[in-house]
């Protein structure tokens, strides 16, 4: 009598970072999981100042008419990255072309061609926003990358992606106004003091 083979459910399945990312999000609701350069980036749930800063940042974009027929102002929408088969990022805020729905790639991530600006407000893993994501967004040719750097109290504006870097990087300090390129679709100037004050934890 011959013995039946015992199936090993995972033996023939390819290793999938996407599956691991989905499992982490299922076990830890509120955590953000991204895959950049073949590595998982896990960010804990944002605190209230982080969310407050994002709400405040949406106001000048919307007031400039960027949430309308040609562009939209969106939070936490996936951006497909060209750095790997499973790579994607989820910027805190983005200015996108209004036809973004036509550019879905997979896993709720969209072609970077429809992103005009991405913005991150730093959390505990601030180095990822300043370094890892700057490289990834440049490789994806996102025209403008803005970082609200809560650790160093700066607002960084990066423009003109070229390879793995942005050719122009301008940090703005408290008391300055960060003027964004007209390429996003409107004239927008950000009050650095106002943004950093909203993003500051009460214990800082």
Q: Is the dihedral of CA 4, 8, 9, 13 positive or negative?
A: negative
pLDDT, residue 3, reads: 38
- For residue range 155-175, list pLDDT tens digits in order: 999 999 999 999 999 999 999
Residue 1 has pLDDT above 60, yes or no: no
Tell me if 147 sits within 8 A of 119, measured CB to CB.
yes
Q: What is the 3-state secondary structure (H, E, C) of the chain?
A: CCCCCCCCCCCCCCCCHHHHHHHHHHHCCCCEEEEECCEEEEECCCCHHHHHHHHHHHHHHHHCCCCCCCEEEEECCEEECCCCCCCEECCCEEEEECCHHHHEEECCEECHHHEEEEEEECCCCHHHHHHHHHHHHHHCCCCEEEEEECCCCEEEEEEEEECCEEEEEEEECCCCEEECCHHHCCCCEEEHHHHHHHHCCCCC
Tokens of 39: 């590595």
Q: Which two tokens stand for residue 157?
A: 């504006």
In this predicted structure, what is the pLDDT of residue 13?
52
Q: How many residues does the chain have?
A: 204
| Residue 134 pLDDT > 50 | yes
Average pLDDT over residues 16-21: 74
pLDDT in the model for residue 15: 64
Q: How many Cβ atoms are within 10 Å of 172's Cβ, its own excluded?
A: 20
With a CB cutoff of 8 Å and minimum separation 6, the contacts of 10 are none
Structure tokens at 138: 């440049």
Instruction: Please state, in angstroms and rounded to a whole number, the distance separating the CA atoms of residues 50 and 123.
Output: 8
- pTM over 0.85? The answer is yes
Computed over its alpha carbons, how large is the radius of gyration of the chain? 19
Tokens of 82: 């060209």
pLDDT at 148 over 80: yes
For the segment 115-138, the average pLDDT, to the nearest whole number, is 92
């Amino acid at each position: 009598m011959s013995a039946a083979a015992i199936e090993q459910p995972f033996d023939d399945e390819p290793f999938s970072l996407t599956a691991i990312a989905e499992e982490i999000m299922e076990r830890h609701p509120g955590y953000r999981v991204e895959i950049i350069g073949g590595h998982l980036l896990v960010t804990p749930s944002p605190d209230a100042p982080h969310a407050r800063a994002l709400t405040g940042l949406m106001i000048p974009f919307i007031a400039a008419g960027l949430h309308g027929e040609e562009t939209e102002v969106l939070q936490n929408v996936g951006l497909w990255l060209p750095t790997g088969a499973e790579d994607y990022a989820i910027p805190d805020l983005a200015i996108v072309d209004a036809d973004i729905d036509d550019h879905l790639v997979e896993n709720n991530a969209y072609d970077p061609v429809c992103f005009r600006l991405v913005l991150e407000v730093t959390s505990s893993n601030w180095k990822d926003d300043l370094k890892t994501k700057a490289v990834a967004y440049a490789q994806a040719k996102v025209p403008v990358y803005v970082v609200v750097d809560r650790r160093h109290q700066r607002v960084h504006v990066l423009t003109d992606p070229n390879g793995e870097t942005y050719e122009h990087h301008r940090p703005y300090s408290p008391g300055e106004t960060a003027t964004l390129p007209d390429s996003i679709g409107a004239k927008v100037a950000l009050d650095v003091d106002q943004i950093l004050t909203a993003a500051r934890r009460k214990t800082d």
